[in-house]
Amino acid sequence: MRNVVYFRNVAQTKRTLKGKKTTIHEIAKALNTTASTVSRALNNNPRISEETRKKVIKMARKLGYEPNSMAASLRRGHSKIIGIIVPYADRIFFSSVIRGIEEEVKKSGYNVIICQSYEKLENEIEDVNALMSAQVAGIIISISRETNKFEHLQKVMNKDKPLVLFDRTTEAINTSSVAIDDFQGAYTSVKHLVENGYKRIAFFSGNKKVSIFRERFRGYQAAMRDSNLPILEEYVIEVPSEVEEGKAVTKKLMSLQSPPDAICSCSDFSALGAMKWLTENNYKVPEEVGIVGFGNDPFTQYLEPTMTSVDQKSKDMGKTAAQVFLEQLEGKNSIARKVLLNPELVTRASSQKLSIGKSEV
């Protein structure tokens, strides 16, 4: 089952010019000075004359000097590398956050090293160890679903290294975090549905053990209450974030005596399942049933009808996490920050039975 069509082996140019990598010592020797002067010149230390600095830089270039940041890091006690741990690096949400972080920290000369926990606590712990061993400047992490112990994270803090949680946060350790306001996300979704004339609004919940899902559920409850709508027990269902699950649940929901006329979901995928089942069974979306997803996965904009969804501001989240991290790193404040970002409801066709073209009631 090797997926290889053909290998082609090409003789490779013998690498000859072994060129002994040049260090600051060579530069010093060439300039008849010492390594300390060179180091200082290269690091813009004010205690060096402009003249010397110029000469050093010139010679460095001439000799093709390339700094060894590992040696520097060893001496300094930490590197300019930031560890990131996510459950999966190829989920659009996480890869987008990663991109946001990378963009932001690069400005300050940092790089990021990526680890995946695959939702396993065990992997997460190993990753933390590997990162600490690599002497990262600190860690930015979205904890795995499984994580219920936090010694490994506490250890990071004990070493005085910045630790920033994002999206999947916890109150169990006292450190900075960045997340979206999940309550607000769900609240806005429901309000939007109400404004568009839907009244019997079902809720696809997530695992209530996870705080972000509890928050979203609270948002749903509050919005329903504020809209003077009843919260029916049979309308609130825990649905895994899968298309098929969404289909199955929708089928059940629609066979109730009094089926819902809208679905507010905690996941784009279960929302998609709902939409698929409905259209396959000749229900009109959004005319008969309105749908709002959560996550604003790219696919939502390509569906027919296009799907309204809550955007989680992933890139912003990355950027903000990076900022909080760097702030912590500069050591300005040893105070834990809890940042909540505003989610954005991206309204599309699936939730607007009224006034197609207009925006609100």
Partner DNA sequence: TAAAATTGCGCAATCGTTTACGCATAAATG
Partner DNA sequence: CATTTATGCGTAAACGATTGCGCAATTTTA
Q: Select from a copy of itself, DNA, none the partner in contact with residue 24, using the beta carbon and a kind-dependent cut-off of 5 to 8 Å.
A: DNA
Note if the bond before 230 is cis, omega within 30 degrees. Answer: no
Residue 225 identity (one-letter amino acid): R
CA–CA dist 104, 295 (Å, integer) = 22
- Considering only the stretches 39-47, 81-89, 100-108, 124-132, report the one whose residues sit in contact with DNA under the rule CB under 7 A: 39-47
CA–CA dist 115, 350 (Å, integer) = 37
* Residue 23 found at the interface with DNA (CB under 7 A): yes
Q: Select from a copy of itself, DNA, none the partner in contact with residue 49, using the beta carbon and a kind-dependent cut-off of 5 to 8 Å.
A: DNA
> Using the rule CB under 7 A, which residue among 36, 108, 174, 359 binds DNA?
36
Spell out the SS3 assignment of 220-240. Answer: HHHHHHHCCCCCCHHHEEECC
Helices (H), 159-267: 182-195, 211-226, 243-254
CA–CA dist 281, 287 (Å, integer) = 14
* Residue 130 found at the interface with DNA (CB under 7 A): no
| Distance in Å, CB of 75 to DNA, minimum | 3
Q: Select from DNA, a copy of itself, none the partner in contact with residue 33, using the beta carbon and a kind-dependent cut-off of 5 to 8 Å.
A: DNA
Which residues are registered as beta bridge partners of 81? 111
- By C-beta, is 201 or 293 nearer to a copy of itself? 293
- By C-beta, is 110 or 204 nearer to DNA? 110
| Distance in Å, CB of 13 to a copy of itself, minimum | 6
CA–CA dist 246, 249 (Å, integer) = 5
Lay out the site mask for DNA across 66-95 (x = CB under 7 A, - = otherwise): xxx--xx-xxxx------------------
Token look-up 């979306």 returns 285
Of 243-272, which residues contact DNA (CB under 7 A)?
Answer: none
Q: Select from DNA, a copy of itself, none the partner in contact with residue 335, using the beta carbon and a kind-dependent cut-off of 5 to 8 Å.
A: a copy of itself
CA–CA dist 302, 291 (Å, integer) = 15
Q: Are 91 and 121 in contact (CB under 8 A)?
A: no
Residue 202 identity (one-letter amino acid): A
- By C-beta, is 49 or 174 nearer to DNA? 49
> Using the rule CB under 7 A, which residue among 33, 170, 221, 227 binds DNA?
33
Phi first, then psi, for residue 86 (nearest 5°) are: -130, 160
- By C-beta, is 103 or 330 nearer to a copy of itself? 103
- By C-beta, is 13 or 228 nearer to a copy of itself? 13
- Considering only the stretches 43-51, 142-150, 230-238, 250-258, report the one whose residues sit in contact with DNA under the rule CB under 7 A: 43-51
Tokens of 119: 């939702």
Lay out the site mask for DNA across 134-173 (x = CB under 7 A, - = otherwise): ----------------------------------------
| Length reported for the chain | 361
| Distance in Å, CB of 325 to DNA, minimum | 20
Q: Are 187 and 221 in contact (CB under 8 A)?
A: no
Burial bucket for residue 246 (CB in 10 Å: 0-12, 13-18, 19+): buried
| Count of residues near DNA by CB under 7 A | 30
Residues that bind DNA (CB under 7 A): 21, 23-25, 32-37, 39-40, 42-43, 46-49, 51-52, 65-68, 71-72, 74-77
